[in-house]
Structure 1
Amino acid sequence: MTDRKILMIGTAAAIGILAGGALYLTMRPGGDPFAQCSSSAVAGGMGAFGTDFTLTRDDGQRVTDAQVFDKPTLLYFGYTFCPDVCPLDAARNADAEALLVEDGKDVQTVFITVDPRRDTPEILADYTALFSDRMIGLTGTDEEIAAVNRGWRNYYKAHDEEDQEYYLVDHMTNTYLVMPGGQTVEFFSRETPSEQIAETVACYVDASA
């Protein structure tokens, strides 16, 4: 046998071992069933995002994270007085949700306010209804909202030093995919189109089945 044939056989064997090892790592107990779906890389991994919480839903009911995240959820942090970014992002997320529901996927969207002073449950209910019947609005005390934002590493700051009524709030604009049980597995920037979000979420939903 020539050196070239030996090299080719060895290379093929190595590729087979690597492929088999990757499959084993994915399918073995404790492996990552979502490895083929992930497109985001963050320091510390997506497992570092999220926290337990109790907040007030837009119907006035107090709910826990376990009650909220009972199905795959697109989670966004914003506020109803936001003049431009939040409505566009909420509409984009609702579009992604509609595509997934049309494809038979049981998913929802959640909008957590970063402006609890103005965003009462009633205001959130009216706001979320503009985008989707499946969108849930959540608010709480200043301390509760601060804690949940820390859990998802979401920066926000109200510019209300001079005007306590008509002020803007700086905030991050990522959308997170949270699976049932509260596991955050993916995030999307505001540049991600609804079709791409729907495709990625569908991958996670199928992988979890």
Structure 2
Amino acid sequence: MTRMFALFAAAAAAIFGLAAGWAWYMGAGSGDRFADCRQSVAATGAATIGGPFTLTSASGARVSDADVITGPTLVYFGYTFCPDFCPTDLSRNAVAADILAERGVDLGQVFVSIDPERDTPEVMADFTASIHPDLVGLTGSPEEVKAAADAYRVYFRKAGDDPEYYMMDHSTFTYLMAPEIGFLEFFGSDVGSDGLAERVACFAGKL
């Protein structure tokens, strides 16, 4: 992780933390049915995270957010060449999904690439299959990817000049979304699979 990304991540966490406290205070007194599920939420009511997108699936099909967010769904932005956070976070999400499946809760998993130059549908298919059979991989044109990332307030930047082995600096939050409602919660990399499953179960029980 570069020093710049480390500083960005710390600043982002601080901003989300401040927003969390305010949103919890506002939600607790506003009749928000999810208030007791929220721990680090950045917004209540009309959320500012998330929005419509159209991208390309690992099978090459064009899909929208409505096609892939059909129930409680974890959305993560990263890239397949990522050496650390992406495979770790996505594997954590997959374990949480399996825990919830045993409890009768269907949790969707979506992985959006922020590196469309290398992450073709074929590359995404191989990568997602190695993480979990139900993980939906999405890519697209640079413009489509940027639009989706902007909607989710995702930071990303190409790092390095090597045309093949460059890295991508990026934020590493996992977003919990739901159809018609939109953004519910976000999770940092420090949340374990058991804790994530418990918190998602709380939301799922109120949908």
TM over 0.5: yes
Q: Structure 1: where are the runs of 5+ without partners?
A: 1-21, 27-31
Could you say which residue in structure 2 is the equivalent of 1:137? 137
1:72–1:119: structure 2 CA closer, same or farther, 3 Å change rule? same
Shift of 1:34: 1.1
Q: CA deviation at 1:102?
A: 1.0
Question: How far does residue 180 in structure 1 lie from its aligned partner after superposition?
Answer: 1.9
Distance in 1 of aligned mates of 2:44 and 2:104: 33
**Partner residue in 1 for 2:167:** 168
Q: Give, in whole Å, the separation in 2 of the partners of 1:179 and 1:154.
A: 18
- Matched with 2:178 is 179
Identity %: 46
Given residue 76 of structure 1, which amino acid in structure 2 is its aligned partner?
Answer: Y
TM-fit CA distance, 1:46 = 7.4
* Matched position secondary structure for 1:88: helix
Give the secondary structure class of the aligned counterpart of 1:130. Answer: helix
Could you tell me how far 1:90 is from its partner in structure 2?
A: 0.9
**Aligned CA distance change for structure 1 residues 124 and 46 (closer, same or farther; 3 Å):** farther
Amino acid at match of 1:190: S
Q: Is the CA contact (8 Å cut-off) linking 2:58 and 2:121 kept in structure 1?
A: yes
CA RMSD of aligned residues (A): 1.9
- 1:190 paired residue number: 189
Q: Bigger CA drift: 129-138 or 175-184?
A: 175-184
Give the aligned partner of residue 4 of structure 2: none
Q: After the TM superposition, which residues 117-136 of structure 1 pair with which residues of structure 2 at under 5 Å, given as runs?
A: 117-136=117-136
With over 3 angstroms needed to count, the CA separation of the structure-2 counterparts of 1:155 and 1:117, relative to structure 1, is same
1:71 matched to 2:71: yes
Partners in 1 of 2:162 and 2:46 — Cα distance? 37
TM-score by length of 1: 0.82
The CA deviation string for residues 100-122 of structure 1, in whole angstroms up to 9 with x for no partner, is: 11111011111000100100111
Counting only pairs closer than 5 Å after superposition, residues 11-50 of structure 1 correspond to structure 2 as 25-26=30-31, 32-42=32-42, 47-50=47-50
- Are 2:42 and 2:185, in contact at CA under 8 Å, matched by a contact in 1? no
Residues 117 and 45 (structure 1 numbering): CA distance in 2 closer, same or farther, change over 3 Å? Answer: farther
The 3-state SS of whatever aligns with 1:49 is: coil
Q: 2:29 and 2:147 mapped to 1: Cα distance? A: 38
Rounded to whole Å, the distance in 2 between the matches of 1:57 and 1:63 is 7
Q: 1:206 to 1:143 in 2, by over 3 A?
A: same
The alpha-carbon deviation at position 24 of structure 1 amounts to: 9.2
How many angstroms apart in 1 are the aligned matches of 2:41 and 2:127? 32
| Greater C-alpha Rg | 1
Please tell me the residue identity of whatever aligns with 2:39.
S
Shift of 1:190: 0.3
The 1:46/1:189 distance shift into structure 2, 3 A limit, reads: farther
Counterpart CA distance in 1 for 2:163 and 2:97 is 35
One-letter amino acid of the structure 1 residue matched with residue 40 of structure 2? S
Counterpart-to-counterpart distance in 2, 1:120 and 1:82: 15
Match of 2:206 in 1: 207
Instruction: Provide the rounded CA distance (Å) in 2 between the counterparts of 1:184 and 1:53.
Output: 14
Native 8 Å contact 2:41 2:184 kept in 1:
no
Q: Cα distance, 1:33 vs. partner?
A: 1.8
Aligned-partner SS, 1:173: coil
TM-score relative to the length of structure 2:
0.82
Question: Matches of 1:143 and 1:112 in 2, distance apart?
Answer: 13
Q: Which residue of 2 is the match for residue 114 of structure 1?
A: 114
